[in-house]
Amino acid sequence: MSPLSINDFPEHFTWGVATSAFQIEGAADADGKGPSIWDDFCRVPGVIADASDGRQACEHYQRWADDLDLVADLGVDAYRFSISWPRVQPLGSGAFNEAGFAFYERLVDGMLARGLKPFLTLNHWDLPSALQARGGWENRDTVQCFVDYACEVARRLGDRVTSICTHNEPWVIAVLGHESGIFAPGIKSRAAAIQVAHHLFLSHGLALSAMRAQGCKADMGIVLNLAPINAATDAEADQAAARRADGGGLRWYVEPLLKGEYPADVLQELGADAPRILPGDMASIQVPLDFLGVNYYMRSVVSAGEPWDLKTSGNEITDMGWEVYPQGLTELLLRLHRDYTLPPIFITENGAAFPDEVINQQVHDSQRQRYIARHIAATLEAMRQGVRVDGYFVWSLLDNFEWSSGYAKRFGIVRVDYDTQARSLKDSALWYRNFLTSKRKPGN
């Protein structure tokens, strides 16, 4: 295989790094911010591995300017960040918080001043607690609250951001938040999860239409976490289990958005847990997307019997216990390209948690560096086979609050010392910068 070179990518390809508000900002109740469901969830005993929370996180709320300097110094084109809804609208409906919006104005203007394209996400899971008290995403009223919030963000920032993503990973909100309950708000009901997913899709479609109707010109889309789903063996039972998992994990999330319908086999299987869909909902959901964001970390291997033992694959395993499987990204992109009419794809997250080796102030993370390089190569392979991919974002810029794993799992290409809040570029960051800055200048 020839060495990976940035010159193999088209000139317009966007390179970036990504974060989210709750995971890095801290300042949990500064300047009028309201509580979110993740602030509440962290207080439940036993749900966060190291009993930590997002109150301080990476202090990005105070350190944003230095953090943007770091981003710019990497040589990326774009920075993907999210808005904390309760920071700009403490109760999730009604009054907006000027101080909260002032922070994001500074942040977006700070990106533009450094030549970075702002990629904005409206919902990276931190729903205002006041809305959860009224049923959260299970309650159809939350859909209109989200549309109002989206329109206000678009009105204030839409002229300066390159792209607006409605929701990050609806599967996580629905399934981990409402079925297994291991994420906020900690509900355990399949019917709830399915209804939540429907309301997320609906709010996405209605928000896109409303933001466009008020003249916002930013590119608009949604980000899904997707994986190719392989059967553990050729046995019919494993194959059938894989088809079911693909239905619930991929087709359920892609098809309402791209085809305006839920997969019939999944709907049938859901029986009484099927969502309540009102006339017109599916048409509202299927609005044209300017892009589809794909977050890829690993494949999924399914068996009908005992869960597949990933050690049998012989592949490297990350600190999260996830298999390193870059070819799965190529497979996934080719499959999406084959089965659907796609808008341009962005790899909006890709990265890995590995322990760092800190020696004489240098942070060695060769596994993360290799992980990123192999997945960029896997993206290129899909592009060579005809898939249109317009960008790639590393998850994450900084080590940060990794949800129920707390701070023990580090995804950053920049290390955060949580005692001092000092940032140090890891070898993976130096590698990424070197890769990005080796770009051939036009005419050379």
Active site residues: 169, 349
- For 242-377, strand residue ranges (E) read 291-295, 300-302, 345-349, 357-359, 362-364
* Integer angstrom CA distances of residue 352 from 95, 102, 146: 39, 33, 31
Smallest gap, in angstroms, from Cβ of residue 182 to ligand IFM?
Answer: 12
CA 320 – CA 356 distance, rounded (Å): 14
Smallest gap, in angstroms, from Cβ of residue 224 to ligand IFM?
Answer: 11
- Answer whether 183's CB lies under 8 Å from 404's CB: yes
x/- track of binding to ligand IFM for residues 291-330 (CB under 6 A): ----x-----------------------------------
32/406 with CB nearer ligand IFM: 406
- Residue among 121, 110, 29, 103 nearest 70 (CA): 110
Binding of ligand IFM at residue 84 (CB under 6 A)? no
Smallest gap, in angstroms, from Cβ of residue 394 to ligand IFM?
Answer: 11
221/263 with CB nearer ligand IFM: 221
Smallest gap, in angstroms, from Cβ of residue 156 to ligand IFM?
Answer: 24
Phi and psi at residue 431, to the nearest 5°: -65, -45
Binding of ligand IFM at residue 402 (CB under 6 A)? yes
Q: Which of residues 350-389 bind ligand IFM (CB under 6 A)?
A: none
Token digits of residue 132: 């959860």
- For 226-316, strand residue ranges (E) read 229-231, 291-295, 300-302
Binding of ligand IFM at residue 82 (CB under 6 A)? no
DSSP secondary structure of 75-91: T-SEEEEE--HHHHSTT
* Residues touching ligand IFM, count (CB under 6 A): 8
Binding of ligand IFM at residue 395 (CB under 6 A)? yes
224/289 with CB nearer ligand IFM: 224
Binding of ligand IFM at residue 166 (CB under 6 A)? no
Smallest gap, in angstroms, from Cβ of residue 176 to ligand IFM?
Answer: 10
Q: Which of 9, 15, 20, 127 binds ligand IFM (CB under 6 A)?
A: 20
Tell me which residue has tokens 């808005």. Answer: 83
- Answer whether 114's CB lies under 8 Å from 68's CB: yes
238/402 with CB nearer ligand IFM: 402
Smallest gap, in angstroms, from Cβ of residue 422 to ligand IFM?
Answer: 21
CB proximity list for 82: less than 8 A, separation 6 or greater: 19, 20, 21, 22, 120, 121, 122, 123, 124, 168
Strand 14-18 and strand 389-395: the pairing is: parallel
Q: Which of 246, 349, 356, 365 binds ligand IFM (CB under 6 A)?
A: 349
Contact residues toward ligand IFM (CB under 6 A) are 20, 23, 169, 295, 349, 395, 402, 411
